[in-house]
């Protein structure tokens, strides 16, 4: 029990430093060795989204720098999601608040 609590505390400390942008310190504080590798574009996108959802917009923008996103054309939208050939129906629903 004490070992798992100690590991949990190390992870929380590492996460705190990572959220503050102190990446090297976070790596040193983590209970396991974290490889110093380049993160993929997909990982970078999810990290930026996580920071934005947490209200850390400046950090989200910093994480999103260098990402090349191009909005798909309307006819390529389903294909870009990997849903080419899947039938999709779109609709509009009006609720009382919108009236």
Percent of the chain with pLDDT over 70: 69
User: Does residue 81 form part of some domain?
Assistant: no
In the predicted model, what is the mean pLDDT of residues 9-31?
A: 84
Q: How confident is the model at residue 17 (pLDDT cuts 50, 70, 90)?
A: confident
Residue 69: CB atoms within 10 Å: 8
Q: What is the mean pLDDT of the chain?
A: 76
Closest CA to 56 of 11, 16, 13, 8: 16
Tokens representing residue 53 in the block: 């959802």
- Give the range of the structural domain holding residue 39, as residue numbers without chain letter: 2-70
Number of domains in the chain: 1
Burial class of residue 14 (count of CB atoms within 10 Å of its CB; 0-12, 13-18, 19+): buried
DSSP conformational letter for 72: P
State the pLDDT confidence band at 98, using cuts at 50, 70 and 90. low
Instruction: Answer whether residue 41 is part of any domain.
Output: yes
* Backbone torsions φ then ψ of 7, nearest 5 degrees: -65, -45
The verdict on residue 92 lying in a domain is: no
In a domain, 85, yes or no: no
- pLDDT tens-digit series, residues 71-84: 656 666 667 777 77
pTM over 0.75: no
- Whether 75 maps to a domain, the answer reads no
Residue whose entry in the numeric block shows the structure tokens 């910093």: 62
């Amino acid at each position: 029990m004490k070992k798992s609590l100690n590991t949990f505390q190390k992870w929380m400390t590492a996460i705190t430093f990572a959220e503050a942008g102190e990446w090297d310190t976070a790596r040193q504080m983590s209970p396991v060795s974290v490889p110093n590798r380049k993160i993929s574009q997909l990982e970078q996108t999810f990290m930026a989204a996580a920071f934005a959802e947490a209200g850390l917009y400046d950090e989200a923008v910093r994480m999103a720098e260098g990402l090349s996103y191009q909005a798909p054309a309307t006819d390529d939208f389903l294909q870009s999601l990997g849903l080419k050939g899947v039938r999709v129906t779109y609709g509009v629903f009006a609720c009382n608040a919108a009236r």
